[in-house]
Amino acid sequence: MDIPEIPPHEALRRVAAGVRLIDVREDHERAAGMAEGAVGVDRGALERDPGRHVSALDAPLMLICQAGGRSLRAARALAAQGYSDVASVAGGTGAWQAQGLPMTPPRADHDADLHERYSRHLRLPEVGLEGQRRLQRARVLLIGAGGLGSPAAYYLAAAGVGTLRLADDDRVERSNLQRQILHTDARIGTPKVISAAATLSALNPRTTIEAVAERVTSANVERLLEGVDLVVDGADNLPARYLLNDACVKLGKPLVYGAVHRFEGQASVFDAGRRRGGAPCYRCLFPEPPPPEAAPSCAEAGVLGVLPGVIGLIQATEAIKLLLGLGTSLSGRLLHFDALAMRFRETRLGPDPDCPLCAPGRAFPGYIDYAAFCAGD
């Protein structure tokens, strides 16, 4: 059945004549104001029980949404259920406003900035307003404001994570700028966390940035993890990686891992702290650090500038999924990326029943001075 699409001014005329107009947007969308004369019933509720909102199968009815798509689909659904006089408002509330037609005022509890800033999240049923509020309440520790930390921090802040605690004791150097997109040439010599805080606050002033100009060590790691929901490892060095893994197992925090080398990268989630015996930790994969010559740094081996962007965005994606409880995380899987071949592959990882750290029932062995260990001291 073809559904009539009527212009907003005609819909307003019909409202004045007594025709019912239903706004099928979600409640958080309607909080910003509705077409005058409309009543709010979200599309799902209307389609499930139209008889609750429409008096008769032949009663004239108009539906409106934001841009016209949802109302048209809802109208077709009602027509399929036997409603014979259903129309959709062309262009939706957006067109209604653009034509200067009367609107109801926003509700007193409406946060205009939140709804405009995160409108594309709010339109995802899997996120919605409650999911966005979960992100707003979240606290994330990001170790490293460099190549991996830059894209991860950018997108976590953009997504609306409420608090980002950034820890890095380094300063901006010109050689960083090829990949560390949080920083600018004008900030060379500035502590990275200060530079990062300026960039992220300019992007999203709703996100609180806690800048900690410290290198993660066994002396401060638990303080850095205090009160956070998860940890993103953007340090990309072995001492930090092992130390964060150990602390996350001890304190029950998920660790979002990333690493890059030349033209290749890796990402995973290590969640053994919350799922002892059910998920691996980093030391299930590599029980002890390799010698320094087996794991050269980016400064020694080089790295394709865009590569940390790819891996850092995967880390941000995994962090957001964990915070929202969405999808399937990379826990138990190691994702490999080969930039030259533009190919991803996956390695399955299981928990090691003899892991020196996370085996069920094993007491925490204490922190190791990994910096000295990896240096061979």
The domains located in the chain, with CATH, are 5-110 (3.40.250.10), 122-375 (3.40.50.720)
CA distance from start to end of the chain: 78
Of the candidates 151, 113, 111, 118, the one whose C-alpha atom is nearest the C-alpha of residue 135 is 118
Cα–Cα distance for residue pair 45/257, rounded to 1 Å: 41
pLDDT at 83: 96
Question: pLDDT tens digits, residue range 166-197?
Answer: 999 999 999 999 999 999 999 999 999 999 99
The whole-number average pLDDT for the span 275-289 is 91
Q: How far apart are CA 228 and CA 161, in angstroms?
A: 12
Residue 300's pLDDT band (boundaries 50, 70, 90)? Answer: low
User: What residues does 278 pair with on adjacent strands?
Assistant: none
Structure-model confidence comparison of residues 238 and 264, the more confident one: 264
Amino acid present at 53: H
Mean pLDDT of the region 243-260 = 97
pLDDT of residue 305: 95
pLDDT digits (tens, 9 = 90+) for 325-344: 999 999 999 999 999 999 99
Tell whether the model's pLDDT for residue 376 goes beyond 70.
no
- Residue range 293-314: average pLDDT? 81
Mean pLDDT computed over every residue of the chain: 94
Stretch 19-33: mean pLDDT: 93
Calculate the alpha carbon distances from 365 to 47, 205, 246, 356, 358 in Å. 58, 41, 9, 8, 10
Percent with pLDDT over 70 in the chain: 95
Model pLDDT for residues 301-311, shown as the tens digit of each residue? 789 999 999 99
Confidence of residue 374 (pLDDT cuts 50, 70, 90): low
| pLDDT at site 369 | 74
pLDDT of residue 242: 94
pTM of the entire structure?
0.86
Q: What is the mean pLDDT of residues 122-136?
A: 93
Residue 59 has pLDDT above 90, yes or no: yes
Residues 276, 219 contacting (CB under 8 angstroms): no
> Over 80: is that where the pLDDT of 213 sits?
yes
- What mean pLDDT comes out for the span 34-47? 96
Task: Let me know: does 80 contact 57? Beta carbons within 8 Å.
Answer: no
84 pLDDT exceeds 90? yes
What pLDDT shows up at residue 125?
87
pLDDT of residue 301: 74
Amino acid at 159: A
Output the pLDDT for position 55: 87
CA dihedral of 21, 26, 29, 35, whole degrees rounded to 10: 0
Q: Is the dihedral of CA 203, 207, 212, 216 positive or negative?
A: negative
Q: Is the pLDDT of residue 293 over 70?
A: no
Residue 294 is predicted with a pLDDT of: 56
The model's confidence at residue 236, banded by pLDDT at 50, 70 and 90, is: confident
Q: Which residues have a Cβ under 8 Å from the Cβ of 310 and sit 6 or more positions away?
A: 265, 337, 339
One-letter amino acid for residue 143 of the chain: I
Closest CA to 147 of 35, 233, 42, 239: 233
